[in-house]
Structure 1
Amino acid sequence: MIELRARDELGLTRLAGLEALHHFSFGQYQDAARGHWGALTTLNHNLLEPRTDMPPHPIDGVDILTIVRKGVIAHRVNMDAVDRTLAGEVQLLCPGRGIVHAQSNPGAKLAEFVEIRLRMETVPERVQRRVVKFPGRGHTGRLALLASGFSEDRPAMLLHSRARVFGARLPARGALDYILGRGRRAYVMTLGGSVEVNGQAVGPLEGAAIASEREIRIESRKFAEILLIDVR
């Protein structure tokens, strides 16, 4: 089963300086049919204007991945010193027992970033943060494991649920294959370009919720970038 999450069906938030698309219920956008996909609870595509602050908000119980596509995103945890995530970087933030988190765009250009939240199965005592690079030209044509909750997947960033998050660049007329384990689900999001997932078209910023499929084949006619999230 593959359920397309078309762009015109996604949730939309517009606030001062912020435009966000929501693949799952978030903030003022609530859809009982799209509360989560296994451990995946949040998948937002955000555009944040220069010199714009997002309001601080409490976070607990989830790992947060921030994938910066353009510009820079600054993070403040519990009003401590600011960390910055730059274009092409992926930050994993684990809130430990709970934090107050604030994001902002301190730059002079529009910031574009994707935020993923995954429900934790175990909760560490301390806040944890790590940053890696999104796949570059040298990784075109294959899945790159960004974060995982499986010990055998080190040195990928550590998740606190049995999930895996991959990024990939597909060349024109490229293809990727992925085997989904028994009882597991996947979610594919197209960051740029368009792909076909088991023959079903998925356009820019759209998603495909996948269950009860043993094999996943992702094909591109032109260059594309994607996320693949494997959860239970």
Structure 2
Amino acid sequence: MLKKIPKENMGTSNLGWLESRFHFSFAQYYNPSNMNFGVLRVLNDDIIHPHSGFDTHPHDNMEIISYVVKGSITHKDSMGNEETLNRGEVQYLSAGDGIFHSEHNLQDEDLRLLQIWIIPPKRNLEKLYGSYRYKKKHRTNKLLNIVSSKKQNSKVNVYQDINVFVSELNENKTIEYKIEKNRQVYFVQIEGSCQINEIILNEGDALEITKNNNLSITALENSHFLFIEMKEE
């Protein structure tokens, strides 16, 4: 089954320095019927304006993935990590029993990123932090597995049994993807537009995919997308 979620149906927030689109109930957008999709708890499409950001704040018992769409993000945390990442690069942490971190846009242009929160398989797991600087060539006209579980082969590994894929697909190109039995997918159209089987997505739209084995993804124009594959619930 394919269920389209138009961007117009998502929650939004504008704090001046931060503009957000919430795929699931979060912050000012409270929707008890839209709390998660499987182990995917949060997916926020954030625009952080220049010289602003999230000051130091805590997290615990959540696996957090940041995917940079535009601009640069600078991260600092209580484990001593500090770095700046750019378009297509990935930062992640497993917060375990507690971590403090900050995320800022120190540049003169807007920062756009996807913030993805995954529910871990157990509480109070050992804290993790890392990043990977993927190149555009790694995701152009192919699926790039940017995040996987620690049992898989991605450059970025989290505890939960998930796979995160991205692609920048040129107009009229098609990619096929097989969903294994008892697995499901949450698909996000980041930029451009594409057709997934019979469903057309435009920038900002999303798609819940359950009880479906094969996806045919065709770019209707130059298309940038991300999807998260996980156990079916």
SS at match of 1:26: coil
Q: CA distance change for structure 1 residues 158 and 79 in 2, over 3 Å: closer, same or farther?
A: closer
State the 1:87 CA deviation: 2.6
SS at match of 2:46: strand
The answer on whether the counterparts of 1:49 and 1:109 sit within 8 Å (CA) in structure 2 is yes
The answer on whether the counterparts of 2:67 and 2:114 sit within 8 Å (CA) in structure 1 is yes
Aligned length: 231
1:195 partnered with 2:198: no
State the 1:6 CA deviation: 0.4
What runs of 5+ residues in structure 1 fail to find an aligned partner? Answer: none
Q: Percent identity, please.
A: 23
Q: CA distance change for structure 1 residues 128 and 115 in 2, over 3 Å: closer, same or farther?
A: same
Measured in 2, the distance between the counterparts of 1:135 and 1:212 equals 33
State the 1:88 CA deviation: 2.8
The answer on whether the counterparts of 1:70 and 1:111 sit within 8 Å (CA) in structure 2 is yes
Measured in 2, the distance between the counterparts of 1:221 and 1:87 equals 22
Measured in 2, the distance between the counterparts of 1:82 and 1:138 equals 25
Q: What is residue 62 of structure 2 aligned with on the other side?
A: 62
What runs of 5+ residues in structure 2 fail to find an aligned partner? Answer: none
SS at match of 2:83: strand
Q: What is residue 179 of structure 1 aligned with on the other side?
A: 178
1:204 partnered with 2:207: no
State the 1:138 CA deviation: 5.1
1:14 partnered with 2:14: yes
After superposition, the CA RMSD in angstroms is 1.9
Alignment of 1:19-38 (within 5 A): 19-38=19-38
State the 1:155 CA deviation: 4.1
State the 1:204 CA deviation: 0.2
SS at match of 1:50: coil
SS at match of 1:176: strand
Measured in 2, the distance between the counterparts of 1:96 and 1:148 equals 18
Q: What is residue 117 of structure 1 aligned with on the other side?
A: 117
TM-score by length of 2: 0.92
Equivalent residue letter for 2:42: T
State the 1:69 CA deviation: 1.7
TM-score by length of 1: 0.92
**Quick check: 81-90 or 11-20, which moved more?**
81-90
State the 1:16 CA deviation: 2.9
Equivalent residue letter for 2:67: I
Q: CA distance change for structure 1 residues 156 and 175 in 2, over 3 Å: closer, same or farther?
A: same
The answer on whether the counterparts of 2:139 and 2:166 sit within 8 Å (CA) in structure 1 is no
